Amino acid sequence: MISPMPPSLVFILGALFVPLFKGKAKGIYALFIPVISFISMMNMPEGAWWGFRFLEHNIVLYRHDKLSIFFGYIYHIIALISLIYSLHVKGNLHFMASIIYAGSALGVVFAGDFISLFVFWEIMALAATSLVWDAGTKESYGAGFRYLLFHLLGGLFLLAGIVITVLETGSVEFNYIGLKGLGSWLIFIGFGINCAWPGLHTWIPDAYPNTTPAGGVFMWTFTTKTAIYTLARGFPGAEPLIWIGATMTVFPIFFAVVENNLRRVLSYSLINQLGYMVCGIGIGTTLSLNGTISHVFCHILYKALLVMSMGAVIYRTGKINCTDLGGLYKSMPITAVLCIIGAMSISAFPLFNGFVSKAMVVDAAGQGAMVMIWFMLMFASVGVLEHAGIKVPFHAFFAHDSGIRTKEAPLHMLIAMGVTAFLCIFTGVFPSFLYALLPYPVNFEPYTAAHVVTTMQLLSFGAFAYIVLVKYGIFPAEMRATNLDVDWFYRRLGRLFVRLCEGPLTALREAISGFSSHVVNASIKFATDPLLVPELIIKGAQVGIYKALSNQENQRSQERLQRLEAKLEHLRSLKATGRYYGTEMPRRPLGVGVLISFGLIFFYIVIYMWVTS
């Protein structure tokens, strides 16, 4: 019996046939790929499959357990939704890059070893870069290049850590790693770059807003959630993740509230939401890990819904800045309603999916007596409401009337957003369906009176604060501006490095090159006639000694001195070109060469024995 094919191979191989289809057939063919892959995945039992030997190590392309299959479910769901949303796209690059991107992400979550994980990890980076470049603008080319640099750096950290870990353990199996040595720390950092840790996060607000509306749905989903999976698999309970995650929940809020570009607002919101997941992994309890993993599921859905609604706005208006939008509810009412559902989900309103997942991480911090972490997570919850829950739908569809009148989003976009909105509500109203899929036993009830009342108080306070701050002009006004992030320092350092390369390092290179050329030329001349220099020295010494000791008044002495000086001058004249064998170069008996060779060998042996003794 032939075993079903791993989802990663179904996606990647399926992408290669995309150019064979034209027009609507291309989109319909693309929709079949996640469906076939899902059927294949469901027919594969638990355990390790599709393994083979490579470099004396066991490679496992498909490792089926409760953690990996959970990510497999949501990745297939969002891939299908995203491809439905993409049906208006005509080009091959988008479909090929997005399908390979999804397939490589599936390859990572089902990889049972470091080698296949790294291969899929790098394919994911290249496919995502292609999606950024697919936008075809000057900004997208620059952002894609910077995105690629970041992820190649992360790949280098990951590869170095894998090599060290494999040398230490003798195994390439990917399971729990823990922070216990240089190799594990390098892997930790490699995963962290893809997870957009503080200071390493700028590739998200740089690259993601510069994608196409359809490409953005894929971008906001796979890279960061795959990094969350690797951290959950390899580093659960790693204490540094608690503070890293808590910091991630807080600092993006301040960037998001002053940002004019709504897709950049959603980029910072993504980092904020990733912080809850990272923090939950760091806490490391069953409750927090279940909270992290369920939040991955919920976040993929509601963030995709928000990204798709903003993509529909761009598709219809060509605009995305707060200062250019407003009043679109008159032209795009269905999109506005769907966007509000996404906003309420990310804000964790009861009956929406964010409510049933985020609370698990917050409660885990409270149960662990992590008071400061708990306050940071609660503060971040209010911040999410301010920028993603209110700002995005309000400034896009309401606020001032921009005068833009356009059509509603295309039917295929509305279908994709409608399915996603339904899932956001369904998993919020019936969380037991979501909890049944989690890898660890669930002992959590979200709809308790205390939890519902506390959440509503928090959200009411946040909404009231927003209204007051806006009314009295304290909340940052929307304006056309370029907001600086920490990549400002990267770019400054990059310019200094370029100047260093063009100035002192170039001069040093030229000096080294000149000296090396001089050494090489001198070596060539010496190799052409190695006896010329010794003979010059000997003849010069003979002339000097003869002048000092001979009788200068003697005729024969003078003639001999003249002959020595003539030979010396002749040798000096040949110094630049060397002598020709057989004519100007004196020949020695064969035995002299043999004796010299034996002498050199003898001295080599003596030196070797002295060094090794």
* Residue whose tokens read 């891939």: 79
Delimit the domains of the chain by residue range: 236-483, 587-613
Mean pLDDT of 100-105: 96
What does the alpha-carbon distance between residue 454 and residue 466 come to, in Å, rounded to a whole number? 18
Beta-carbon count within 10 A of 29 CB: 16
What does the alpha-carbon distance between residue 127 and residue 5 come to, in Å, rounded to a whole number? 21
- Residues 278 and 192 sit within 8 Å (Cβ to Cβ): no
Beta-carbon count within 10 A of 596 CB: 11
Beta bridge partners of 483: none
Contacts of 424 (CB under 8 A, 6+ apart): 298, 301, 302, 305, 341, 342, 345, 352, 353
What does the alpha-carbon distance between residue 67 and residue 286 come to, in Å, rounded to a whole number? 13
Mean pLDDT of 197-226: 94
As a whole number of Å, the end-to-end CA separation of the chain is 65
The per-residue pLDDT of the chain, averaged, comes to: 89
500 pLDDT higher than 80 = yes
DSSP secondary structure of 11-65: HHHHHTTGGG--THHHHHHHHHHHHHHHHHHHTSPSEEEEEEEETTEEEEEEEE-
What does the alpha-carbon distance between residue 496 and residue 504 come to, in Å, rounded to a whole number? 12
- 3-class secondary structure, 438: coil
503 pLDDT higher than 70 = yes
- Residues 108 and 117 sit within 8 Å (Cβ to Cβ): yes
Tell me the pLDDT band of 528, cut-offs 50, 70 and 90.
low
Chain segment 441-467, per-residue pLDDT in tens: 988 999 999 999 999 999 999 899 888
Contacts of 610 (CB under 8 A, 6+ apart): none
- pLDDT reported for residue 401: 84
- pLDDT reported for residue 195: 95
How many Å is the Cα radius of gyration of the chain?
35
pTM, to two decimals? 0.83
427: Cα within 13 Å, side-chain hemisphere:
29
* Residue whose tokens read 């609507």: 24
Which element (helix H / strand E) includes 405? Answer: none
Higher pLDDT, 528 or 293: 293
Mean pLDDT of 18-35: 94
According to DSSP, the β-strands at 57-64 and 47-54 are antiparallel
Contacts of 600 (CB under 8 A, 6+ apart): none
Higher pLDDT, 37 or 534: 37
Tell me the pLDDT band of 185, cut-offs 50, 70 and 90.
very high
Tell me the pLDDT band of 50, cut-offs 50, 70 and 90.
confident
What does the alpha-carbon distance between residue 133 and residue 128 come to, in Å, rounded to a whole number? 9
DSSP secondary structure of 375-393: HHHHHHHHHHIIIIIIIHH
Chain segment 288-319, per-residue pLDDT in tens: 999 999 999 999 999 999 999 999 999 999 99
1 pLDDT higher than 50 = no
* Residue whose tokens read 């359809």: 214
- pLDDT reported for residue 578: 60
Tell me the pLDDT band of 47, cut-offs 50, 70 and 90.
confident
Q: Is the dihedral of CA 344, 314, 209, 84 positive or negative?
A: positive
Chain segment 336-367, per-residue pLDDT in tens: 999 999 999 999 999 999 999 999 999 999 99
- pLDDT reported for residue 400: 81
- Residues 186 and 287 sit within 8 Å (Cβ to Cβ): no
What is the biggest distance separating any 2 CA atoms in the chain, rounded to whole angstroms?
128
561 pLDDT higher than 60 = yes
519 pLDDT higher than 70 = yes
Which element (helix H / strand E) includes 127? Answer: helix 114-133
What does the alpha-carbon distance between residue 405 and residue 332 come to, in Å, rounded to a whole number? 9
Mean pLDDT of 561-577: 72
531 pLDDT higher than 80 = no
Q: How far is CA 47 from the centre of its chain?
A: 29
- pLDDT reported for residue 45: 86
For residue 50, which phi and psi values (nearest 5 degrees)?
A: 55, 55
Helix axes 286-317, 353-367, angle to 10 degrees: 140
Torsion from C-alpha of 473, 475, 476, 478, nearest 10 degrees: -80
- 3-class secondary structure, 321: strand
58 pLDDT higher than 60 = yes
* Residue whose tokens read 């356009």: 406
Tell me the pLDDT band of 569, cut-offs 50, 70 and 90.
confident
Helix extents (H) in 210-261 = 213-219, 222-234, 240-258
Contacts of 442 (CB under 8 A, 6+ apart): 290, 435
Mean pLDDT of 145-161: 94
**Residue 55 falls in which region: left (phi positive, over 0), alpha (psi -120 to 50) or beta:** left
- Residues 48 and 174 sit within 8 Å (Cβ to Cβ): no
Q: How far is CA 501 from the centre of its chain?
A: 26
- Residues 145 and 138 sit within 8 Å (Cβ to Cβ): no
Chain segment 214-266, per-residue pLDDT in tens: 999 999 999 999 999 999 999 999 999 999 999 999 999 999 988 999 999 99
- pLDDT reported for residue 55: 80
Higher pLDDT, 530 or 161: 161
What does the alpha-carbon distance between residue 428 and residue 434 come to, in Å, rounded to a whole number? 9
Chain segment 571-606, per-residue pLDDT in tens: 777 666 665 555 555 566 667 677 878 888 888 888
Torsion from C-alpha of 86, 302, 311, 317, nearest 10 degrees: 140
What does the alpha-carbon distance between residue 376 and residue 526 come to, in Å, rounded to a whole number? 74
